[in-house]
Each structure stands twice: as structure tokens, then as C-alpha cells.
Chain A
Amino acid sequence: MTIQELIKMINISGGSSEHDHIMHGKEITEKEIKQYNFLNLGPTHPATHGIFQNVLKMDGEIIVDAEPTIGYIHRAFEKLAEHRPFYQIPTITDRLNYCSAPINNIGWHLTVEKLLKIETPKRVDYLRVIIMELARIADHIVCNSVIAVDTGALTGFLYVFQWREKIYEIYEQICGARLTTNIGRIGGFERDFSENVFLNINSFLKEFPKVLSEFEKLVMRNRIFMDRTIDVGKITPERALEYSFSGPNLRAAGVDYDVRVMSPYCSYEDFDFKIPVGTAGDSYDRFCVRQEEMWQSLSIIQQAVQNMPQGSYHADVPEFYLPPKEEVYGSMEGLIWHFKIVMGEIDVPKGQVYHSVEGGNGELGFYLVSDGGRQPYRLHFRRPSFIYYQAYPEMIVGSMLSDAILTMSSMNVIAGELDA
């Protein structure tokens, strides 16, 4: 198959509608059309793992210019959040980065707890850490195995995906849901972890390292994989900082910024873990950073399970934490609190807080402006994918089309988080 045929195949939108001739808001001139090929990569293309459109201006197979179009699954979360009470917002956050929904949920709970100045018991923190690190592993195995798929190695993807299922089974036993978890409550968890959850976590800790190292052996030092990823989609640490990169993408460029260490939340200061950093900022380094982060996450979970403190699984905040049903049906006080929480009779302090957690993709921040009502006056999500995806054109210009696909998957752009 010639390159022209391949490009025709990818150019699924046909090339005749008016949108194909606009780039950066400007009409593409006749001269440019004669000189270059314009290619619509996406919005629904199997290689882009989500709904992303990129108009690529190509000279042969070399990308000269690119323009991403985003917003295909924009659901106005920030507007929605202004019309929901605090305890109904976790379901919105689920749908941001749906590969690691529990981190988003817990990030939101932590933000509200910061506003309300709620101190959570140590046990809550440790349970949350376990969940968040499991979510990080789930996030990174998807990303890394998909990078491998894009270089032609499908086996590893199918193999490790079974282990994402195991993580989802653990979520399911904790909160009843698998993908959009809505895990936890303001102040803690709705119920304590059962025996079975800990058994499953322990068996995961025992068996997953074998799988992960097998995957690593398959891919990490594989000649084809290395040739395809090294020096692909490079970004310097200076540019990465200019673009407000965060998370594994920033660390792959060599900047050791991790929210868990810089502004510890949820007792992360109790744990001993390393922050892996890359040197080149290319796709291979991003892969390696994520790979090492999974090992670190396993070690964090191990520490949390071993040192699990005794105590309550929720903070003692009757104003915001729903009482158990026996109390609601059996006591006056329980019934009153239940009514007040559900009907929104409780005042919250006025003020503004910013809280961030280290999400799967980087610093996931919540800027909450409260006017004292039961709903946020304004809630802004700092979505790492949205912020670093704007560097994508700069990272792929001068490289080939196949490298562009790989760069996108190694950046781990999640459509839900990108579009909010």
C-alpha cells in the first residue's frame, strides 16, 4: 500500500465539506492545497482512542502544521456543578478522567473538606490512598498498554487489561460501581472495606507484579518499541513548564513535580515512595515514568495495607455525612440530620479554596468559590489533559503521521477530562 492510499483511507471525512478547508480559523488557500496535503485525523478514528480531531497539514508524510479541535463531548460540567449540592458533584467528577474516576471523586471530597475544615481520621486517609493508587495503576496500565498497541504489540494490552478488571472488581466491592465509581462521601466512606476487599487487594498485590514485569519484559527493551518511541514527541522541560504540563508528562521531561509530595494530602507524607523522572521528555520516557509509577503505587498500597490504622471509616461530621439508616428510622436526631442534609438546610462557610490532587494525568485541581449556599457559586476544574493537549501541535510538527498517533497515546489525553 502506498502512502497516498493510506492517507486516503485515513481521510474518512471525504475532504469535501467546508470545514476541511479551514485551519486556525482561516480559509486554506488554493496555493496551500496544491502544495500540501490536508488530512483530517479524526474525530472518529480508531487510532486516536477517543473523539479527537486534528487537521494536519502535511508535506508527504511529514507534519508541517496541526490544529486540534476539541469539545466533542463537552457536557458543561462547570455549569452543571453550579446547580448541584456538594454531595451530588462526585458523579460529575467521575466523568472527567474516567480511567481513574476514584481520584477525581476523592479530590472533590478533599476540596469540600478543606472548605469545611473537616479533619478525617487516619483510617480514611489510608483507605483513600489505597483506592487512589489502585486507580493510578488502572489509569497507567491502560495508557502504557495502548502505547504498545500503537507500536504494534496487541498482546500486552489484552494481557494487562485483565488486571484492570481485577481493580474494577475491588471498586465494585467498595462502592458497587466499576467505571463511574462515585466512591466515598464528604468525610470518608459510606461503609468500611469488607474482609473480602482486603483479600482481593492482597491477592492483587501478590499477583500483579508478575504480570507487570512480564509486560515490561515484552515491551520496555523491545527493539521495535524503542525505535518507535525514542525521540518521538519530544518536549523540553522549559517548554513543558511554559505549557503548564503536570503529572507523568512533566516528569518525563525531567521536572520532579508531584502534588503528592509538594502539597501532601490524605497523609501521603506517611508513605515512602520515589518520584520517577525522565530525561528526554519523549514518548519512551513517558512510558517508562508511568511504568515506574505503577511499581511505586504498588509499594504505597502495600505500606497502606500493612500500616492500616484502626478507627472509624468516616469523620464525625453529622452536618454533612448522612447518618446510617437505622438511626434515620430509629432516632429523632438521625432523622433531622438526614432531612437537613438532603433538603440542603445546612450553611457552608463563604470563601474560596483551591485543592489539587495528583490525578492519573497530572495536577487535577478544584477551584471552589462558595457563597454560603448548598451549591458551589463557581467550580472550576483544572483539567491536566486540557492544559497539556495544547502543546500537541508543537510536539508533532516535523514528525511523521505514525509518530503523531504515538505521541497522542503517550500523552494520555482523556476525552472526558479534555472536554469537561
Chain B
Amino acid sequence: MQRVVKVTNDYIAEAILQKFPESIRSIEESYATLDIVVAKEKIIEIITWFKTHEVLQFNFLTSLCGVHFPDKKDEELSVVYHMHSFINNIRLRIHVFLPISLPEIPTLTGVFAGANWMERETFEFYGVKFDGHPDLRIILNEESMTYHPLRKEYPLIDDSRTDKDDKYFGR
């Protein structure tokens, strides 16, 4: 008979710390979801382990996105993976921090096919380069765009544009 385990955040934290003790930077719980910060070298291995673990079974990549923290030295960019285990009905958030000078991280497309466009979007918005991605091109904006608009240094309104005359609207 198979032993039924109630998978809780504590259970996950303990399991991951046992398996990858040196790759886990921190584990926190906020709003009932586990935030795990991991080293970027091990990210694919860790997500694959979560996906194929016989008890945890995080079989669903809910979303993948980037965040920019300009004030964090050498950890300016972060990639956030939301995972969901349908079997245990528990969610999980994995963070990886990257220096903005070298924003490279292995691709997840080999593990989840759905990561393809999510990684392209993250590349476009934040300039994170996903090594091994089959087709890492800009997806939403025009292809000639050379910058990564969701980084914090880019203002919402481009001052160099002359075609937007808002003086009649009091701006």
C-alpha cells in the first residue's frame, strides 16, 4: 500500500533542503506560498526534480516572468517560476537572481514546452538570455527593438518622441 503524505510547505522545504543543500539560497513563506531562491546553475535540475518527484509532482508550470531590482548589486534581474502540483494542490514560487551584466540562465523549454513563449517574453522585457532556447527572439514588440523596456531605467513615456503633443490636456 502506498503511504499517503500530506504535502505541506514544510514538507517541501525539508525535501528540497535535503536534496540540494548547497544550491538553496533561502526559503521563505509568504501568503501561504513558499518562495525558494535557488542558484541559477541548478535551476533546471531543481525544477525537473520537482516535476518528477514521486510525491511532490509539480507537473504544471503556471507562469514564468522576470523582475528587475536595480538596487540589488549583482542580483539586479530575477526570474520567477510559479509551479503548481495538481495532485497535491499546492503552489510554489522559485526565484533565481542574475547579475545584469551577465543575465544568462539555462532554458526550461526542455522540461516544459510551454516555457517557450514565456521565456521569449522575459527575454524581450528584461533581456534575460535563456541558453539553449530554440528560438529566442522578441515576441510582442517589433523585432528591431534593441532595448528591454520593462527594466526600471526606462520611463513610461519616451521624452524624445515629438508626435505626442499633450499640451492641450494639461500635461
* Complex Cα gap A216–B64 (Å): 38
Q: Could you tell me if A367 and B65 are in contact, using CB atoms closer than 8 angstroms?
A: yes
Q: Could you tell me if A382 and B82 are in contact, using CB atoms closer than 8 angstroms?
A: yes
Q: Which of A71, A352, A380 contacts B140 (CB 8 A)?
A: A71
* Complex Cα gap A241–B113 (Å): 9
Q: Could you tell me if A241 and B60 are in contact, using CB atoms closer than 8 angstroms?
A: yes
Q: Could you tell me if B140 and A420 are in contact, using CB atoms closer than 8 angstroms?
A: yes
A353 interface residue per 8 A CB criterion: yes
Residue of A nearest to B89 (CB): A262
B155 to chain A minimum Cβ distance, whole angstroms, is 9
A175 interface residue per 8 A CB criterion: no
B 98-140 contacts with A by CB, 8 A? 112-114, 116-118, 121, 125, 135, 137, 139-140
Q: Could you tell me if B150 and A79 are in contact, using CB atoms closer than 8 angstroms?
A: yes
Q: Could you tell me if B137 and A25 are in contact, using CB atoms closer than 8 angstroms?
A: yes
* Complex Cα gap A363–B125 (Å): 22
Residues of A within 8 A of B142 (CB): 71
* Complex Cα gap A377–B112 (Å): 28
B 50-68 contacts with A by CB, 8 A? 59-63, 65, 67-68
Q: Could you tell me if B112 and A387 are in contact, using CB atoms closer than 8 angstroms?
A: no
B169 interface residue per 8 A CB criterion: no
* Complex Cα gap A12–B106 (Å): 40
Residues of A within 8 A of B112 (CB): 242-244
Q: Most B CB atoms within 10 A — which of A352, A377, A389?
A: A352
Q: Which of B33, B62, B113 contacts A242 (CB 8 A)?
A: B113
Interface size on A, residues (CB 8 A): 44
A8 interface residue per 8 A CB criterion: no
Interface of A is mostly: mixed
* Complex Cα gap A349–B61 (Å): 27
Q: Could you tell me if A71 and B139 are in contact, using CB atoms closer than 8 angstroms?
A: yes
B4 interface residue per 8 A CB criterion: no
* Complex Cα gap A389–B117 (Å): 9
A6-47 interface code vs B (CB 8 A; 1 in, 0 out): 000000000000000000110000000000000000000000
Q: Could you tell me if A351 and B114 are in contact, using CB atoms closer than 8 angstroms?
A: no
Residues of A within 8 A of B67 (CB): 369, 377-378
Q: Could you tell me if B82 and A367 are in contact, using CB atoms closer than 8 angstroms?
A: yes
Residue of B nearest to A379 (CB): B65
* Complex Cα gap A117–B12 (Å): 25
B 72-95 contacts with A by CB, 8 A? 80, 82, 86, 89, 91, 93
Residue of A nearest to B151 (CB): A79
A407-420 interface code vs B (CB 8 A; 1 in, 0 out): 00000000000011
A79-B150, A242-B114 in contact; A354/B93 too (CB < 8 A)?
yes
Residues of B within 8 A of A388 (CB): 114
Q: Could you tell me if B141 and A387 are in contact, using CB atoms closer than 8 angstroms?
A: no
Q: Could you tell me if B141 and A71 are in contact, using CB atoms closer than 8 angstroms?
A: yes
Q: Could you tell me if B31 and A353 are in contact, using CB atoms closer than 8 angstroms?
A: yes
* Complex Cα gap A83–B137 (Å): 27
Question: Would you give 28 A-B contacts (Cβ < 8 Å), ordered by A?
Answer: A70-B139, A71-B141, A71-B142, A74-B140, A74-B141, A80-B156, A242-B114, A243-B114, A255-B86, A257-B60, A263-B91, A352-B30, A352-B31, A354-B33, A365-B62, A365-B82, A367-B65, A367-B82, A380-B65, A380-B80, A382-B82, A386-B117, A387-B63, A387-B118, A390-B113, A390-B114, A391-B113, A419-B140
